[in-house]
Amino acid sequence: MITGSWVRERRDAMPRLLPRRLRSLHTLVLVLVLALILWVGWLWYRSSSFVKVEHVTVAGLSGPDVSQIRDALTSSAMGMTTLDMNIAELESAVQRYAYVQSLTVTRHGGHDISIDVTERVPIALVDIGGNQQVVDADGRLLPGTTISHGALPLVPISSPPAGMTITEAGARAAIAVLAAAPYALLAHIENATSTSAHGVIVQLRSGPQLYFGLSSLLHQKWQAAVAVLQNHDSAGATYIDVSDPQRPAAGAGVSAREAAALGLAATTTTTAGTTSHTH
């Protein structure tokens, strides 16, 4: 049997449950409103001038269009903020350069970013089954490249590679030498071969052979080679030995006409035979 006192207690307790539920609902609404305000504030801040990109550093470029790619990326990035980088837009800015493989963006503080460019730049041609194919600085074949490569140097190989990468030691050494060359000079190189007598030999289209020796100190060797090619006293050389970049030796020299054909300017004078240069 239900007593009257229990009914009254139950009736008195029921009204107290409703305000508690209302308080929970009110708290939930406040939390949602606060979250919305914070989200809108974040969206505004990440697109505001407080984090606007003001300085862009572009690294990893080595191909034929360094300045154009750098300018395109910088111009695109300057319209963004460091908290709202649009990678797709940056990629679109350089999509015409087929050898650009990927972009990595790093934020430095509130206004600076760096963009690291990964490239697969055509360096040379190899002959595979009667067909010339492009390779990059790592010896990887680039069969799908759309870049004009008619003036790239040829690297002979004795047999087709098993995969998509050149593995012959001599060919890889020649490719390494070409990869270290000033890119504008590649169009003036006919071929690069590896020999036991002189290491890698680079044959210029309108000039002498360059003897590189071992595939080391390549940037210094190219600096030495260019310095000798630019020198009046090296006119008429049939070879230039830069295996020791501190003491490059010219067999005779390069004529002014040949130097001009290579896109090089004549500079200072040197002694005949073994020639030393400072850079």
Q: Tell me the H-state helices in the chain.
A: 4-46, 66-77, 87-93, 169-179, 218-229, 256-261
Mean pLDDT of all residues in 262-266: 47
Does residue 154 contact residue 127 with C-beta atoms inside 8 Å? yes
More confident residue, 150 or 126: 126
The confidence band for 184, taking pLDDT boundaries of 50, 70 and 90, is confident
Inform me whether the pLDDT recorded for 200 exceeds 90: yes
Inform me whether the pLDDT recorded for 100 exceeds 90: no
Mean pLDDT of all residues in 175-182: 94
pLDDT at 266: 41
Mean pLDDT of all residues in 189-211: 91
Question: Exposed, middle or buried: residue 275 (CB in 10 Å: 0-12, 13-18, 19+)?
Answer: buried
pLDDT at 224: 93
Inform me whether the pLDDT recorded for 169 exceeds 80: yes
Inform me whether the pLDDT recorded for 166 exceeds 90: yes
Inform me whether the pLDDT recorded for 56 exceeds 90: yes
Inform me whether the pLDDT recorded for 210 exceeds 60: yes
pLDDT at 218: 96
Does residue 218 contact residue 176 with C-beta atoms inside 8 Å? yes
- Cβ-based neighbours of 39, under 8 Å, separated by 6 or more: none
What are the residue ranges spanned by the domains of the chain? 1-46, 52-119, 124-261
Structure-token pair, residue 46: 């990440």
Q: Which CATH number is correct for 124-261, 3.40.630, 1.10.3470, 3.40.50, 1.10.10?
A: 3.40.50
H/E run at residue 192: strand 189-195
Mean pLDDT of all residues in 28-33: 82
Residue with tokens 């020649």: 174
Q: Strands 112-119, 55-59: parallel, antiparallel or unpaired by DSSP? A: parallel
Inform me whether the pLDDT recorded for 267 exceeds 70: no
- Spatial strand order of the sheet with 55-59 comes to 55-59, 112-119, 100-108
Mean pLDDT of all residues in 122-150: 79
More confident residue, 261 or 1: 261
Inform me whether the pLDDT recorded for 243 exceeds 60: yes
Q: Strands 189-195, 199-204: parallel, antiparallel or unpaired by DSSP? A: antiparallel
Q: Which CATH number is correct for 52-119, 3.40.50.720, 3.10.20.310, 3.40.50.2000, 3.30.420.40?
A: 3.10.20.310
Mean pLDDT of all residues in 110-134: 88
Q: Which range, 53-62, 151-160, 170-179, is most confident?
A: 170-179
More confident residue, 69 or 14: 69
Mean pLDDT of the chain, nearest integer = 80
pLDDT at 26: 75
Mean pLDDT of all residues in 91-108: 89
Inform me whether the pLDDT recorded for 140 exceeds 60: yes
Inform me whether the pLDDT recorded for 128 exceeds 90: no
Inform me whether the pLDDT recorded for 197 exceeds 50: yes
Mean pLDDT of all residues in 250-272: 50
Inform me whether the pLDDT recorded for 121 exceeds 90: no
The confidence band for 238, taking pLDDT boundaries of 50, 70 and 90, is confident
Share of the chain above pLDDT 90, in %: 37
Rounded Cα gap, residues 45 and 36, in angstroms: 14
